Chain A
Amino acid sequence: MSQLSVDHLLGIKYLTTEDIQLIHKTADQFKEVINRPIKKVPSLRDITIANLFFENSTRTKLSFELAEKRLSADVINFSAAQSSVKKGETLIDTVNNILAMKVDIVVMRHPNPGAGVFLSKHVKARIVNAGDGAHEHPTQALLDSYSIREKLGSLEGKKVVIVGDILHSRVALSNIYCLKKLGAEVMVCGPATLIPRHIADLGVKVELNLKKALQWCDVANMLRVQNERMDISYFPSVREYVQQYGVTREILDGLDKEIVIMHPGPINRGVEITSEVADSDQAIILNQVENGVAIRMAVLYLIASKIQHHDQ
């Protein structure tokens, strides 16, 4: 297979296993490219990409922008804070105004789940979802699974636990879809208040005890506690959360095996994981960041390859 089955990247849910494998394989080649003395290729030099960020983001936005520039695309950036959205303009009007400037691909982050799907039905450009509310964050799941594959060789039969605030996490949902499609076993672990009620229906195990979860897994993906998404209190105090679900060196040393530690960032050092764990050899957090650029280059390249030259 040499092309994606989809025209837009809206979520992992819509991708086939072959799509994910194609993205990973293409990212292998881009990883080689970004380690060259000159890291730029001319593939997308006639493509214009708009990064529409209706919600704050640092690393995802930088990672996409770098990927776009390394593919030689023309890039325009938009952030809602300084825009006409504040004056009451609708999403479709905002995007259509940007598309009138001959944009081919829209990379969008939006606080509302389903914003990408909605947009893909109303505008002509290709849409890449860079996170929609608590729904999906497909490129994060692709880079997480790619990083595990790079570290452990394959995903088949590997045990991955996702720890923390599952309820408010788009990373968790995309990861669950992606890891399951690639043959991994998935468990979620966190306070009962932060685990969605029907999560087991997705075929994942649920564990409330962190030590048991870590003993079970090969990889622990530690999520950030998303205080900004919480409108009520889900646990008594941060101190209590740390005691129950924070990963420390002592906990890792107490396991009878060495597990891989991941974190999508930004880290609350001393909350989800201690600095000692974050900076240890077991953590592949910086590999995830590096792989993020290669994965996003692969996604944009494969999406762009479906835009025929004469369509523009």
Chain B
Amino acid sequence: MSQKILLNAAQLDIILHRLACQLIENHGDFHNTALIGVQPRGVFVLKRLERLLKEQYQIENLQTGLLDITFYRDDFRRGEEPLKANSTEINFILENKNVVIVDDVLYTGRSIRAALTALQSFGRPKTIELLTLIDRRFSRHLPIQPDYNGRQVDAIGNQKVKVMWKESAGEDAVYLLKNEDQ
């Protein structure tokens, strides 16, 4: 397995700042907006954006939630490993809100399809947008595209995009991993 760095910590920081600014452009003071992180890895992106918006851009009363999509996935009982549920923490109704789904890597689009279905359990949002840190351009299975996008990556089938966070992996970086056996 060989790996190539796509983004280092400084580049990741710049991208997160840009995404935060783009959100502010469209959502102002966020009075009717909720950011929802997709469990498990979208939560890291959400937490970083939340910190930036609150501390650097003085956004108060930002509503955020965590969404687990396990029970909505379309690959239940199709893989080798059973699906394990994470927690959902959305303590408000999404009815008529502008919702931004936050995830780390957009690949086939199936996770986001599941997230869209799951969100319906919390009311009917006014709009739903998608923010992803990395958009893998190829191999989309469904017609889903991000509204906010950190970096577009042209990765092919046997490659994997791995996002590392200081909180869990000790460093901020994005790697492109390639399995050379394939």
Residue of chain B at shortest CB distance from A302: B82
- Is B120 engaged at the interface, CB distance under 8 Å to the other chain? yes
Given A2-B81, A26-B85, A32-B88, A42 and B117 contact (CB-CB distance below 8 Å): yes
Given A37-B123, A42-B117, A308 and B71 contact (CB-CB distance below 8 Å): no
Given A29-B85, A32-B88, A304 and B121 contact (CB-CB distance below 8 Å): no
Q: Would A43 and B76 count as touching, CB distance under 8 A?
A: yes
Give the chain B neighbours of A305 by CB distance below 8 A.
76-77, 82-83
Quick one: which of B72, B76, B87, B93 contacts A32, CB cutoff 8 A? B87
Interface residues of B in 57-97 (CB under 8 A from A): 68, 70-72, 76-78, 81-88, 93
Total interface residues on A, CB under 8 Å, equals: 24
Quick one: which of B71, B86, B87 contacts A43, CB cutoff 8 A? B71
Interface residues of B in 120-152 (CB under 8 A from A): 120-123
CA of A7 to CA of B86, assembled, Å: 23
Interface of A is mostly: loop
How many A-B pairs have beta carbons closer than 8 Å: the answer is 54
Q: How far is the CB of B45 from chain A (nearest CB, A)?
A: 22
Q: Would B78 and A37 count as touching, CB distance under 8 A?
A: no
Give the chain A neighbours of B72 by CB distance below 8 A.
41-43
Q: Would A309 and B71 count as touching, CB distance under 8 A?
A: no
Give the chain B neighbours of A308 by CB distance below 8 A.
77-78
Q: How far is the CB of B43 from chain A (nearest CB, A)?
A: 15
Q: How far is the CB of A72 from chain B (nearest CB, A)?
A: 9
Interface range for B: 20 to 34
Residue of chain B at shortest CB distance from A305: B82
Q: How far is the CB of B130 from chain A (nearest CB, A)?
A: 21
Q: Would B120 and A306 count as touching, CB distance under 8 A?
A: no
- Is A101 engaged at the interface, CB distance under 8 Å to the other chain? no
Give the chain B neighbours of A42 by CB distance below 8 A.
71-72, 117
Given A2-B84, A3-B82, A42-B72, A36 and B77 contact (CB-CB distance below 8 Å): no
Q: How far is the CB of A34 from chain B (nearest CB, A)?
A: 10
CA of A244 to CA of B111, assembled, Å: 59
Quick one: which of B77, B85, B88, B122 contacts A304, CB cutoff 8 A? B77
Residue of chain B at shortest CB distance from A4: B82
Residue of chain B at shortest CB distance from A310: B78
Give the chain B neighbours of A38 by CB distance below 8 A.
120-122
Q: How far is the CB of B118 from chain A (nearest CB, A)?
A: 8
Q: Would A2 and B82 count as touching, CB distance under 8 A?
A: yes
- Is A242 engaged at the interface, CB distance under 8 Å to the other chain? no
Give the chain A neighbours of B70 by CB distance below 8 A.
29
- Is A28 engaged at the interface, CB distance under 8 Å to the other chain? yes
Residue of chain A at shortest CB distance from B74: A42
- Is A33 engaged at the interface, CB distance under 8 Å to the other chain? yes
Mask for A16-57, Cβ within 8 A of B = 1, else 0? Answer: 000000000010110011001111111100000000000000
Chain A to chain B: the 10 pairs with minimum beta-carbon distance, closest first: A41-B71, A38-B121, A2-B84, A29-B85, A305-B82, A3-B82, A36-B121, A43-B71, A309-B77, A309-B78
28 CB < 8 A contacts A-B: A2-B82, A2-B83, A2-B84, A3-B82, A28-B87, A29-B68, A29-B70, A29-B88, A33-B71, A33-B88, A38-B120, A38-B122, A39-B121, A41-B121, A42-B72, A42-B117, A43-B71, A43-B72, A43-B76, A301-B71, A304-B76, A304-B77, A305-B76, A305-B77, A305-B83, A306-B82, A307-B77, A308-B77
Question: Which B residues are closer than 8 A to A by beta carbons?
Answer: 68, 70-72, 76-78, 81-88, 93, 117, 120-123
